[in-house]
């Protein structure tokens, strides 16, 4: 145990620096005096030689006295001035453009002192041209010396660097540049980049820090084999979730270890150095934050406003709360009926935003009296409606509750928002509302129609928007959470059908696009997030097993259980009638009402009958009126809805 701990701690120790770097760091002040003293003396000597030996101007034979005097003055003066400007504290290994201005200022100030002293001592009879030449030469030598140090330090570390891991970097953008720069540092000098992969064909053949870029990423196996790569490093923070899964799949096919920089997402926003590289894991995928907090459109929407988030304790709702507070909202109202969830959310928000005005409101969206109290007291200006029942198989057995919550609750919140003059009402919808086969999808489609009808009824009042997207990674009760738990237990990992596909996006990505879409909305629109290509759930399960360092079907078995009640093989994000158009944000499309599009108007009577049936707990009537409101429903109905899609029609329904 002790030996294992010793090895672990030894592995964490950074690689040793180059010999030149170690010498300078141990004797920093001595090196400063020797380097800048030599620069100052050499600059003076070169200046006199240029002026009196090379120049075609009048030559003075006895200029050695001037030379001695200037050496006695310039060397100590420049050392004192450079020290006063803090140049002795600047890291020479990472010298960059930002270090040039202090060097220029110090050189000019030092030259001014030299001129004042020498002109005073010689009563103005000192060659001014030498002072000017010395300023230019000194600045040139000091600047070149700085970068020469970096080059020499790099070379000194390459003389005997020891064994280096040959790596292929995926992604040829800013993240790749940071990773390559980090590999020139002592800490990550054990890695040697041999190739860069990217999908942008315009980058084919270019070099970054001397490393060639190859396209597309699909050819990574061939490139890795050609260059004798021993590992792959991901540097693609801008990749959509579906793209990242494709990249991970291609990388895994090479059989090489897959690595990443764990802080790359923060690095890209703070321009800090990459400090370490470690194995790519599932957590790196689920916790990706490729969102920006400095988007002016979102800031203008939320800054100084009172914002209400329903379903605030849920996965989407809690992330909405985080990002709303990041935009300096004046007040955040968090509504949820989950007491424990609200408590956890409050603790997190108070800890991360100690000065924020957060109001936690325990209540149910089905309780119109409680909601009216909330709107009357808190006066929200923007509402994000994320509260909903979402689990498809469960709602198949409880259609009445699905109608009460997803339809009745949405109607309650939306009507009160309209009555109290809320500026924008944003409803979070789902791809399951498109040609639904489940109770959950059908009720969400009705909720979409409710929102559109309210927007049409008062076009100059509250702006009603709907934002539709697919599954989010890492949400409570999601398939990813289930797979992760099953893998930790040793399996089996249960997949309903090897053909089933779903759209995926991380929670932070989805919420960021929700806020951006909300800032664009003018009312009566359905915004659809670009989820990329759908992901096969079977492939997802296998990749998660591999990311855990295990082998599918060997270490962890996979069991196919069949589709559950209400599920379908493939999801869609829009209907043929909608045909969304692109927006200024490539991750968002918008479907506006068209002349041929089925209108939401005229649903009021059927909606009222549906909610009355739910109040009576009349399941049969609920189904009848639900089907009238959702004419494109494609699943089983009534008691048959409780039967899995591929089960025999005559099979008895499962006990609820």
Structure tokens at 468: 């539709």
Q: Is the pLDDT of residue 430 over 80?
A: yes
CA distance 173 to 141: 34
Portions of the chain given CATH number 3.40.50.720: 165-280, 296-642
φ and ψ at residue 647, rounded to 5 degrees: -80, 155
Highest mean predicted confidence (pLDDT) among 152-156, 184-188, 309-313:
309-313
Q: Is the pLDDT of residue 596 over 50?
A: no
Predicted local distance difference test score (pLDDT) of residue 267: 53
φ and ψ at residue 206, rounded to 5 degrees: -75, 165
Predicted local distance difference test score (pLDDT) of residue 608: 93
Lowest-pLDDT range of 61-75, 238-252, 640-654: 640-654
State mean pLDDT over 255-267.
Answer: 69
State mean pLDDT over 373-388.
Answer: 95
Predicted local distance difference test score (pLDDT) of residue 593: 63
Please answer whether residues 467 and 427 qualify as being in contact, where contact means their C-beta atoms are separated by less than 8 angstroms.
Answer: yes
pLDDT averaged over the chain?
A: 82
Could you tell me the sign of the dihedral formed by the alpha carbons of 247, 250, 253, 259, in that order? Answer: negative
15 pLDDT band (50/70/90 cuts)?
Answer: very low
pLDDT tens for each residue of 328-341: 999 999 999 999 99
State mean pLDDT over 469-485.
Answer: 80
Predicted local distance difference test score (pLDDT) of residue 436: 94
For residue 188, which of 173, 196, 178 has the smallest C-alpha distance? 178
157 pLDDT band (50/70/90 cuts)?
Answer: low
HEC-encoded secondary structure of 449-516: HHHHHHHHHCCCCCEEEEEEECEEECCCCCHHHHHHHHHHCCCCEEECCCCCEECEEEHHHHHHHHHH
Q: Is the pLDDT of residue 650 over 50?
A: no
State mean pLDDT over 458-472.
Answer: 86
Predicted local distance difference test score (pLDDT) of residue 36: 84
Predicted local distance difference test score (pLDDT) of residue 551: 84
Q: Is the pLDDT of residue 279 over 80?
A: no
CA distance 259 to 251: 10
Predicted local distance difference test score (pLDDT) of residue 459: 66
State mean pLDDT over 293-311.
Answer: 91
CA dihedral (290, 295, 298, 299) in degrees, to 10, reads: 130
Q: Is the pLDDT of residue 347 over 90?
A: yes
7 pLDDT band (50/70/90 cuts)?
Answer: very low
pLDDT tens for each residue of 433-461: 999 999 999 999 999 999 988 877 676 78
For residue 493, which of 538, 404, 557 has the smallest C-alpha distance? 557
Q: Is the pLDDT of residue 286 over 60?
A: no
Please answer whether residues 540 and 401 qualify as being in contact, where contact means their C-beta atoms are separated by less than 8 angstroms.
Answer: no
Could you tell me the sign of the dihedral formed by the alpha carbons of 102, 103, 109, 110, in that order? Answer: positive
CA distance 347 to 503: 32
- DSSP 3-state assignment of 628? helix
Please answer whether residues 653 and 636 qualify as being in contact, where contact means their C-beta atoms are separated by less than 8 angstroms.
Answer: no
Which class is 165-280 in CATH?
Answer: alpha beta
Q: Is the pLDDT of residue 480 over 70?
A: yes
Q: Is the pLDDT of residue 221 over 50?
A: yes
> By percentage, how much of the chain surpasses pLDDT 90?
39
168 pLDDT band (50/70/90 cuts)?
Answer: very high
Q: Is the pLDDT of residue 568 over 80?
A: yes
CA distance 541 to 482: 10
Polymer length of the chain? 656
3 pLDDT band (50/70/90 cuts)?
Answer: very low
C-alpha distances out from residue 534 to 459, 550, 630, Å: 36, 24, 25
pLDDT tens for each residue of 124-135: 788 888 889 989
Predicted local distance difference test score (pLDDT) of residue 654: 41
For residue 591, which of 603, 582, 604, 601 has the smallest C-alpha distance? 582
Please answer whether residues 589 and 583 qualify as being in contact, where contact means their C-beta atoms are separated by less than 8 angstroms.
Answer: yes
State mean pLDDT over 626-645.
Answer: 90
Q: pLDDT higher for 277 or 157?
A: 277
| Residue-by-residue DSSP string for 376-416 | HHH--SEEEE------HHHHHH-HHHHIIIIIIIHHHHHHH
Predicted local distance difference test score (pLDDT) of residue 601: 47
Lowest-pLDDT range of 276-290, 509-523, 568-582, 608-622: 276-290
516 pLDDT band (50/70/90 cuts)?
Answer: very high
Residue 133 CB contacts under 8 Å (≥ 6 apart), including other chains: 46, 47, 50, 51
CA distance 630 to 434: 10
CA distance 287 to 237: 12
CA distance 170 to 189: 19
For residue 466, which of 453, 456, 451 has the smallest C-alpha distance? 451
DSSP bridge partners of 211: 208
Predicted local distance difference test score (pLDDT) of residue 418: 93
DSSP bridge partners of 485: none
Predicted local distance difference test score (pLDDT) of residue 187: 63
Predicted local distance difference test score (pLDDT) of residue 360: 94
Predicted local distance difference test score (pLDDT) of residue 12: 32
Q: Which residues of 577-594 are buried (b: 16+ CB within 10 A; e: fewer)?
A: ebebeebebebbbbbebe
Lowest-pLDDT range of 41-45, 286-290, 296-300, 650-654: 650-654
CATH domain 296-642 topology: Rossmann fold (3.40.50)
Predicted local distance difference test score (pLDDT) of residue 58: 58
Q: Is the pLDDT of residue 506 over 90?
A: no
């Amino acid at each position: 145990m002790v030996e294992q701990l010793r090895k672990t701690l030894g592995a964490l120790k950074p690689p040793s620096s180059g010999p030149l770097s170690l010498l300078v760091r141990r004797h920093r002040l001595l090196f400063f005096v020797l380097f800048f003293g030599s620069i100052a003396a050499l600059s003076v000597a070169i200046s006199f030689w240029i002026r009196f030996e090379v120049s075609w101007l009048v030559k003075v034979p006895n200029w050695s006295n001037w030379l001695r005097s200037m050496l006695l003055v310039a060397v100590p003066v420049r050392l004192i001035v450079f020290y006063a400007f803090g140049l002795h504290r600047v890291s020479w290994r990472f010298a960059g453009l930002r270090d040039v201005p202090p060097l220029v200022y110090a050189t000019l100030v030092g030259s001014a002192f030299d001129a004042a002293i020498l002109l005073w001592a010689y009563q103005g009879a000192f060659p001014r041209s030498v002072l000017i030449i010395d300023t230019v030469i000194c600045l040139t030598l000091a600047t070149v010396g700085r970068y020469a140090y970096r080059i020499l330090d790099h070379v000194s570390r390459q003389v005997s660097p020891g064994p280096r891991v040959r790596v292929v970097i995926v992604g040829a953008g800013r993240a790749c540049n940071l990773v390559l720069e980090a590999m020139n540092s002592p800490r990550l000098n054990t890695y040697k980049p041999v190739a860069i992969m990217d999908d942008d064909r315009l980058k084919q053949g270019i070099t970054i820090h001397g490393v060639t870029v190859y396209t597309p990423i699909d050819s990574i196996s061939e490139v890795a084999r050609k260059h004798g790569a021993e590992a792959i490093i991901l540097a693609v923070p801008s990749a959509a979730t579906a793209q990242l899964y494709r990249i991970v799949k291609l990388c895994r096919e090479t059989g090489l270890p897959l690595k990443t920089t764990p802080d790359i997402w923060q690095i890209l926003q703070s321009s800090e150095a990459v400090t370490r590289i470690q194995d790519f894991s599932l957590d790196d995928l689920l916790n990706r934050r490729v969102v920006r907090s400095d988007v002016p459109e979102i800031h203008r929407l939320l800054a100084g406003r009172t914002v209400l988030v329903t379903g605030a304790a849920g996965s989407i709702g809690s992330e909405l709360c985080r990002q709303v507070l990041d935009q300096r909202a004046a007040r955040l109202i968090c509504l949820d009926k989950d007491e424990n969830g609200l408590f956890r959310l409050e603790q997190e928000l108070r800890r991360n935003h100690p000065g924020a005005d957060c109001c936690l409101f325990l209540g149910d969206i089905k309780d119109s009296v409680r909601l009216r109290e909330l709107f009357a007291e808190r006066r929200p200006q923007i509402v994000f409606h994320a509260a909903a029942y979402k689990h498809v198989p469960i709602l198949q057995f409880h259609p009445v509750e699905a109608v009460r919550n997803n339809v009745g609750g949405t109607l309650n919140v939306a009507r009160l928002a309209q009555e109290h003059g809320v500026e924008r009402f944003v409803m979070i919808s789902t791809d399951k509302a498109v040609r639904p086969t489940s109770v959950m999808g059908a009720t969400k489609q009705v909720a979409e129609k409710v929102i559109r009808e309210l927007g049409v009824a008062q076009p100059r009042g509250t702006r009603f928007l709907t934002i539709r997207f697919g599954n989010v990674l890492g949400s409570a009760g999601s398939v990813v959470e289930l797979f992760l738990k099953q893998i930790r237990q040793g399996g089996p990992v249960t997949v309903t059908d090897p053909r089933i596909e779903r759209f995926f996006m991380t929670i932070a990505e989805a919420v960021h696009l929700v806020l951006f879409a909300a800032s664009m909305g003018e009312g009566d629109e359905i915004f659809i997030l670009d989820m990329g290509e759908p992901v096969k759930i079977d492939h997802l399960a296998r990749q998660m097993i591999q990311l855990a360092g295990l082998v599918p079907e060997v270490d962890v078995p996979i069991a196919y259980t069949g589709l559950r009640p209400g599920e379908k093989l493939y999801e869609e994000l829009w209907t043929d009638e909608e045909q969304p158009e692109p927006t200024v944000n490539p991750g968002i499309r918008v479907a506006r009402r068209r002349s041929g599009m089925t209108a939401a108007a005229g649903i009021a009577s059927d909606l009222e009958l549906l909610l009355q049936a739910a109040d009576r707990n009349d399941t049969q009537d609920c189904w009848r009126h639900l089907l009238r409101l959702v004419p494109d429903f494609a699943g089983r109905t009534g008691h048959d809805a409780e039967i899995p899609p591929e089960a025999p029609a005559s099979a008895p329904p499962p006990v609820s």
